[in-house]
Amino acid sequence: MVTIHDVAKAAGVSISTVSYALSGKRSISATTRTRIDRAIADLDYRPHAAARMLAGARTNILALSAPLRQDGHLPTHMRFVSAVVAASRAHDYDVLLLATDDEVSGIRRVGSSSLVDGVVMMGVATGDERLPIVRDLALPAAFIGVPGDVDDIACVDLDFAAAAREAVDRIADLGHRVVGMIGHPPSYLERQTGFIERFDQALEREAAAKGVRIVRRWAGLERGAGRSAVDELLAEAPQLTAVLFHCNEPVVEEAERRLLELGVDVPGQVSLFAAAASYDPSRLEIPLSGITLPLEDMCRRAVEAVFAAVDGRPAPDVTLLEPRFEDRGSLIPAP
Amino acid sequence: MVTIHDVAKAAGVSISTVSYALSGKRSISATTRTRIDRAIADLDYRPHAAARMLAGARTNILALSAPLRQDGHLPTHMRFVSAVVAASRAHDYDVLLLATDDEVSGIRRVGSSSLVDGVVMMGVATGDERLPIVRDLALPAAFIGVPGDVDDIACVDLDFAAAAREAVDRIADLGHRVVGMIGHPPSYLERQTGFIERFDQALEREAAAKGVRIVRRWAGLERGAGRSAVDELLAEAPQLTAVLFHCNEPVVEEAERRLLELGVDVPGQVSLFAAAASYDPSRLEIPLSGITLPLEDMCRRAVEAVFAAVDGRPAPDVTLLEPRFEDRGSLIPAP
DNA sequence: CGGCATCGTCGAAGCGCTTCGATAGCTTCG
DNA sequence: CGAAGCTATCGAAGCGCTTCGACGATGCCG
């Protein structure tokens, strides 16, 4: 193994000079720098990660706590994980993945042993049990989601209330007065993910303000849930002219299929709107207009909030990202 | 931060004694051990990971190189990742996730800086470019998949040839003589993943031996691919009595749906068989009899092969897991 | 009952790096 | 022209742990 000593010897300087040349924390003459660079290249020197962690202040590793629930949507989950890795790598950080029953205890383990500089947490719920842990460890952390009232730890999320308002406004402004809505399965609500409540409350208020009647259904994860949600909506409110989705991709796919099967003209008779889609709504059988979850942006900001905390810079408490509407033709004026 | 010195002082022993008590590498008297345990508990001591890595031989971290192709199936990918994490944690190892354009270069980075003890590689292709890297670094490694002729690095995979033979045998033995097959998209083949070739060759040979005619189609990833594959199969061989799937879940779902739509009686008229399913074939609209990819087992063995290499124990070169048939009622005797 | 393992413990070296303080050699300016 | 201030470099301390060799205290055997 080639160490900093070998480089120093080859370049004819002391190891501290090599170290400073590497970190740039003190000025180095051009000639010395050249000799050191050559030595490093010749020997193919790579600093020993553990030595660096021990002597330096940081590990250049971030933990990602990624709990995967029974009812979780795997593709979405994977997208979040990938996005966090990408965002971390952009800052030369590596990601340690905490999963499979270790998302909570693992934080304590890797945090208290100084294996990581901070932690990003997915799958956040109101009253998240990881909150006291990161507080206790004083570990730089960020939540993707909002675990209730938090003012000491960064949270990043879509502004679900604004998303609901935007959805209602756009739908109402096009003249729709009776709107069906298919929401996340009840199990999500029981888990107190928070975002559903925030969405629903704003939805209700805005609908009242705009004079829109909303008929709701929740689709579970079992096969056929999306299909029967559509059937039930149409039975209860045959006069509806729009359907708003706030649920996972499989449900949307089924619902679309059912509408086509029933010969409903989309968007001629019924407009469709995807709210906070965690999937790509442009790749559906009927591409959906609506608001896409800004997943990459959320992850990037969460990662950057952790870095801010690591560096002692002030990190924003709660960042709610503005919903961005994208038109894909599925939402048109009411017939 | 509480260090081993603090524990030693609190217990009234030297730090080496504490270290030996922790590692169990030398005997410690019962009384001393008790005092040390108490001190550790009182102070809530956690060994500093970096110090441990530096002084000791290993890092207790494994890298997971998880390339996600454009045409990759996210849920399957996530399952592999989870399974590797679970297997690693069972041995008290953490997993560093290399992804998003860093699956290859990242191996060199974390390997040469001694950040990890070894690496598990997913998404293996024939002539995999990661092979020379792990050889060059002499990094303990294991492939999930078989990158061609390899005798120095562990590979774990399903025995796809045996799976093909088993599929043909079971189907043929039930009297089916004309069998449709829907395979992976051509892009998979171009990438030389290897397993498709192994499957296809064995399939062809066994079909010839058993006197079964196989009509093949490949379904791409675009919407409707599974549907049209079914239509084409039925057009080319209307007399077929079984369909063999060797493809991703979305294709199977579409194909099943199309069969139902066409009023085909499954399995009365047409039996269905899932070969090497990377998804759960029991949760499909029509649960499929067949062979499930032993994903957890593959990951566990790969991880264990890396540990064997780390420990200097002999690791098996190529482990091909025996296919296991499971009956879910979709395969019955030919009408 | 003296010599010799064995057991339990200790001190110190060292893993490879970062960083602090010191210093030699220059330049600059009153 | 000498004090002051830079710039570039070095030596050494130290990060928290593991592990080697040493050593006193026991126990055991002939």
A285 interface with B at CB cutoff 8 Å: yes
Look at residue A172 and tell me if it is in a domain.
yes
Q: What is the average pLDDT value for chain A, to the nearest integer?
A: 91
Q: How far is CA B120 from CA A273, A323, B142, B303, B308, in A?
A: 42, 39, 5, 7, 13
DSSP state of B120: E
Provide the pLDDT for residue A203: 92
pLDDT band, very low/low/confident/very high, at B192 (cuts 50, 70, 90): low
- Do A65 and A30 belong together in one domain? no
Of the candidates B59, B112, B285, which has its C-beta nearest A46's C-beta? B112
Q: Are A248 and A228 in contact (CB under 8 A)?
A: no
Q: What is the average pLDDT value for chain B, to the nearest integer?
A: 91
A74 interface with B at CB cutoff 8 Å: yes
pLDDT band, very low/low/confident/very high, at B197 (cuts 50, 70, 90): confident
* % of chain B exceeding 70 in pLDDT: 99
Provide the CA A29 to C1' D1 distance, Å, integer. Answer: 29
- Do A181 and A264 belong together in one domain? yes
Residue contact B85–A97, C-beta within 8 A: yes
- Do B26 and B171 belong together in one domain? no
Look at residue A311 and tell me if it is in a domain.
yes
- Do A34 and A126 belong together in one domain? no
Q: How far apart are CA B63 and CA A186, in angstroms?
A: 37
Provide the pLDDT for residue B312: 85
A288 beta carbon to strand C: under 7 Å: no
Provide the pLDDT for residue A192: 65
- Do B91 and B180 belong together in one domain? no
Look at residue B328 and tell me if it is in a domain.
no
DSSP state of A39: H
DSSP lists the bridge partners of residue A88 as none
Q: Are A100 and B86 in contact (CB under 8 A)?
A: yes
Look at residue A335 and tell me if it is in a domain.
no
Residue lying closest to nucleotide D9, CA to C1': A17
Q: What is the CATH number of the domain that holds B15?
A: 1.10.260.40
Question: Is the Cα dihedral A116, A117, A122, A123 positive or negative?
Answer: positive
- Do A177 and A127 belong together in one domain? no
* % of chain B exceeding 90 in pLDDT: 66
- Do A124 and A173 belong together in one domain? no
B285 interface with A at CB cutoff 8 Å: yes
Residue A17: nearest nucleotide (C-alpha to C1'): D9
Provide the pLDDT for residue B204: 92
| Region B269-275 average pLDDT | 93
Q: Which domain range does residue A264 map to? A: 160-293
Residues around strand D, C-beta < 7 Å: A 12-17, 20, 26-29, 31-33, 51, 54-55; B 1, 3-5, 15-16, 19-20, 22-23, 25, 45-48, 51-52, 54-57
Beta strands B289-292 and B325-326: pairing type? Answer: antiparallel
A51 interface with B at CB cutoff 8 Å: yes
DSSP state of A305: H
Look at residue B55 and tell me if it is in a domain.
no
- Do A208 and A273 belong together in one domain? yes
Look at residue A284 and tell me if it is in a domain.
yes
Residue lying closest to nucleotide D15, CA to C1': A55
Instruction: Specify the residue for token string 């083949």.
Output: B189
DSSP string over A63-92: EEE----TT--HHHHHHHHHHHHHHHHTTT
Provide the pLDDT for residue A191: 65
B66: which residues sit within 8 A by CB, 6+ positions away? B77, B80, B81, B97, B98, B99, B103, B122, B123
Q: Are B169 and B206 in contact (CB under 8 A)?
A: yes
Q: How far apart are CA A249 and CA A55, in angstroms?
A: 48
A contacts of B44 (beta carbons < 8 Å): 112
Of the candidates B47, B86, B102, which has its C-beta nearest A100's C-beta? B86
Provide the pLDDT for residue A275: 93
- Do B86 and B174 belong together in one domain? no
B47 interface with A at CB cutoff 8 Å: yes
Provide the pLDDT for residue A315: 78
Look at residue A52 and tell me if it is in a domain.
no
Nucleotides of C under 7 A from a protein CB: 7-12, 14-21
Nucleotides of D under 7 A from a protein CB: 7-12, 14-21
Provide the pLDDT for residue B328: 93
DSSP state of A104: T
- Do A227 and A280 belong together in one domain? yes
Q: What is the CATH number of the domain that holds B192?
A: 3.40.50.2300
A223 interface with B at CB cutoff 8 Å: yes
- Do B101 and B175 belong together in one domain? no
| Region B232-242 average pLDDT | 91
Residues in chain A, overall count: 335
DSSP lists the bridge partners of residue A246 as A183
- Do A154 and A164 belong together in one domain? no
Looking at the structure of chain A, the number of domains it has is 3
**Helix, strand, or coil here: A191?**
coil
* pLDDT reading at B190 higher than 80: no
Look at residue A195 and tell me if it is in a domain.
yes
Per-residue pLDDT tens over the stretch A258-284: 999 888 988 888 999 999 999 889 889
**Residues in chain A with pLDDT values less than 70:** 190-192
Lookup: tokens for B53: 């890595």
Instruction: Specify the residue for token string 């939540």.
Output: A143
Per-residue pLDDT tens over the stretch B86-95: 999 999 999 9
